[in-house]
């Protein structure tokens, strides 16, 4: 029987920095989440053309920046000029797209934790997993609590495992696949990150009995967050940093 994986992360994790209150995946969002008492953050990471790891959710730049096209078609020096806050509100206009390195420096110097979601541009699953793992290994080398690397992409997690087997991994999924135990075992995951829409007490029990941790996303109802934690969910990822108080 596998021993339950270590889980040195808080019960509440802020989604994309501060949910919808600040522009997602920016330093400003992390600062706001921190202001509300959050000490761990989920964010999405992908690569630029010159293979710099940056925070961005979509493959395309249009929704969250004033740029166009796919992030992976541009050099970081081009993307660094973009406004990643103006789409959200005037207050955040001029907020840049951060690199993973920028964010690592901020988190580490403030004693904050994180869940790095490896969000590859389609076709770049393996290289993205490799680069994110290499960066995380380097940036968090002297920090005891490492980030948990999660992904919907099996190939990204497999690549991360090859680069840095000791860095915790979480398999992200909308619903529990039939072969979940095989996937978690093959990828040597610490956790599974399941959509709250398909999560049940029975599912949580089965996963925990098998020795893996459970993260639920994206839980924006305070009562549901409480219930899930009572079921044994290890961390709840939420947008509602203002209405769900960290505990
Ligand atoms: O990591 C949980 C959640 O962020 C996964 O979905 O689309 O918000 O990145 P998405
Ligand atoms: Mg995400």
Name the phi and psi angles at 9, rounded to 5: -115, 155
CA dihedral 222, 223, 227, 233 (to 10 degrees): -10
- Mean of per-residue pLDDT scores for the chain: 97
Residues 6+ apart with CB under 8 A from 29: 14, 16, 17, 18, 21, 22, 23
pLDDT confidence band for 59 (50 / 70 / 90): very high
pLDDT confidence band for 247 (50 / 70 / 90): low
- Residue 235 pLDDT greater than 90, yes or no: yes
List, for residues 168-191, the tens digit of each pLDDT value.
Answer: 999 999 999 999 999 999 999 999
Question: According to CATH, what is the number of the domain 12-238?
Answer: 3.20.20.190
Please name the residue that has the structure tokens 């660094």: 80
What's the mean pLDDT in 208-226?
Answer: 97
Euclidean distance between CA atoms 116 and 95, whole angstroms: 20
- Residue 152 pLDDT greater than 80, yes or no: yes
Euclidean distance between CA atoms 84 and 89, whole angstroms: 10
Q: What DSSP state is assigned to residue 150?
A: E
Note whether ipTM > 0.95 here.
yes
User: Best substitution site from 13, 17, 42, 228 to test ligand 1's pocket, by max atoms within 8 Å of Cβ?
Assistant: 42
Residue-level pLDDT at 2: 87
Full DSSP string of 49-95 = TT--EEE-SSSBSTTTSS--SBGGGS-HHHHTTS-SSTTT-GGGTTP
**CA 180 to mean position of chain CA atoms:** 20
List, for residues 102-134, the tens digit of each pLDDT value.
Answer: 999 999 999 999 999 999 999 999 999 999 999
CB atoms within 5 A of ion ligand 2 belong to: 44, 117
The answer to pTM > 0.95 is: yes
Cβ(112)–Cβ(34) below 8 Å: yes
Tell me, letter by letter, the H, E, C secondary structure of 173-210.
ECCCCCCHHHHHHHCCCCEEEEEHHHCCHHHHHHHHHC
**Considering every ligand atom, which ligand is closest to the CA of 58?**
1
Residues 6+ apart with CB under 8 A from 126: 155, 156, 158, 159
Q: Domain residues of the chain, as ranges?
A: 12-238
Cβ(183)–Cβ(201) below 8 Å: no
User: Mutual orientation of helices 154-163 and 125-139 as an angle, nearest 10°?
Assistant: 40
Its sign, for the CA torsion 108, 156, 69, 237, is: negative
**Considering every ligand atom, which ligand is closest to the CA of 115?**
1
Euclidean distance between CA atoms 153 and 197, whole angstroms: 20
Which ligand 1 atom sits nearest the alpha carbon of residue 16?
A: 4
What percent of the chain shows pLDDT beyond 70? 100
Report the catalytic residues: 15, 57
Which ligand 1 atom sits nearest the alpha carbon of residue 152?
A: 5
Cβ(236)–Cβ(216) below 8 Å: yes
- DSSP helix/strand/coil, 15: strand
Which ligand 1 atom sits nearest the alpha carbon of residue 117?
A: 1
């Amino acid at each position: 029987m596998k021993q339950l994986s270590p889980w040195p992360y808080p019960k509440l994790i802020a989604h994309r920095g501060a949910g919808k209150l600040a522009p997602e995946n920016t330093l400003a969002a992390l600062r706001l989440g921190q202001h509300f008492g959050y000490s761990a953050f989920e964010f999405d990471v992908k690569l630029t053309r010159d293979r710099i790891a940056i925070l961005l959710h979509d493959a395309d730049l249009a929704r969250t920046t004033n740029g166009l096209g796919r992030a992976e078609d541009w050099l970081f020096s081009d993307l660094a000029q973009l406004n990643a806050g103006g789409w959200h509100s005037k207050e955040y206009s001029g907020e840049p797209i951060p690199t993973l390195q920028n964010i690592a420096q901020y988190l580490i110097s403030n004693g904050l934790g994180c869940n790095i979601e490896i969000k590859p541009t389609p076709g770049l699953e393996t290289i993205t997993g490799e680069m994110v793992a290499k960066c995380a290994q380097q940036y968090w080398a002297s920090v005891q609590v490492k980030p948990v690397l999660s992904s919907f992409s099996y190939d990204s997690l497999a690549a991360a495992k090859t680069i840095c087997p000791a860095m915790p991994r979480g398999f992200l999924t909308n619903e529990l696949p039939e072969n979940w135990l095989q996937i978690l075992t093959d990828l040597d995951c610490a956790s599974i990150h399941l959509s709250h829409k398909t999560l049940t007490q029975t599912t949580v029990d089965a996963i925990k009995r098998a020795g893996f941790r459970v993260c639920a996303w994206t839980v924006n109802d305070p009562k549901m967050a409480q219930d899930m934690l009572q079921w044994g969910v290890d961390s709840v990822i939420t947008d509602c940093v203002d209405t769900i108080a960290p505990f």
